Amino acid sequence: MNREAEKADHLKRIELSIEKVEKGGSPGRGEAAAPLTFVFGVGTDGLSPLEMSLQGRGVGDVADVTIPAEGVEYVFGHLAPPPAVRNLGPGDEMRITVRGVAPAGQREIIQAMAEVAACGSDCCGH
C-alpha cells in the first residue's frame, strides 16, 4: 500500500486518542484516552492548530500539544474537543496518538462540511 495514503492529510478520516499529560510528562493516571474521529481539512478557516500538528503523521505517531493562552477551543478550531479535555487550560498538555488514517467516504465528507457550516461564527463552543 502507498505510505502517503496512510498519512494525515485533506479529506482523510482521522482517528485519535487524546490524553492529558501530567506535569511530570506522563499521561494522566487512571484516565482513559479520549477518542476523536474527524475528517481532516474541511474547516472554513483552514486547518485548525490540531490539524496542523497532525498533518503528515501516520498511525502510531504521537504529537504533544501545549494549550496556548487562547484555550483548548482554539487548538481544536472547528472540531469539538472531547469532554475529557474540555477543562484543560493554558499551559496544560495533551498527548495525541494517531490510531487510524483512511480515505473519508463522500457521505462522511459532506456530513463534516455540513456540521462546520451549521456551527457558524457565533458558535456556542460546541
Distance in angstroms (rounded) separating the CA atoms of residues 26 and 61: 16
Quick one: what percent of the chain has pLDDT higher than 70?
A: 83
Distance in angstroms (rounded) separating the CA atoms of residues 119 and 79: 10
Q: What is the domain partition of the chain in residue ranges?
A: 3-119
Domain 3-119 has CATH 3.10.50.40: yes
DSSP class of residue 69? T
pLDDT tens string 26-77: 655 546 789 999 999 998 888 999 999 999 999 999 999 999 999 999 999 9
> Residue 66: beta bridge partners?
93
